[in-house]
Amino acid sequence: QVQLVESGGGLVQPGGSLRLSCVASGFRFSDYSMSWYRQAPGKERELVALITNAGGTFHTDAVKGRFTISRANAKNTVYLQMSSLKPEDTAVYCCYVRHMGTKYWGQGTQVTVSP
């Protein structure tokens, strides 16, 4: 079955950096686009970044120039490199894949940006 397991979250000061990882299993990873979403308290879940199976990327305006999504197909892993973090980046970050018409989410990893 499809599984997505995130790691790398934590507490960081404003201006700091973190790298999130999401290890996928249960499907042919290299064939699928992968995404990172986040949900802050009291807010709706929002798309942060997406990477296609061909390596094309999209980053939402709020993180453009600060976050970078990448993938390592040999490791079945998608990454989110986050730098110049701001308090408003505080959220639970989840990775996502749509496989055979079904949406799958990881359990999420908490990112907290605070002095």
Specify the pLDDT at position 59: 98
Instruction: Say how far residue 63 (Cα) sits from the centre of its chain.
Output: 12
The one-digit pLDDT tens for each residue of the chain (115 residues) are: 999 999 999 999 999 999 999 999 999 999 999 999 999 999 999 999 999 999 999 999 999 999 999 999 999 999 999 999 999 999 999 999 999 999 999 999 999 999 9
pLDDT score for 51: 98
Q: Which pLDDT score, from 0 to 100, does residue 80 have?
A: 98
| pLDDT score recorded for residue 112 | 98
* Summary count for the chain: helices (H), strands (E): 0, 11
**pLDDT for position 23:** 98
What pLDDT was estimated at residue 95? 97
* pLDDT of amino acid 110: 98
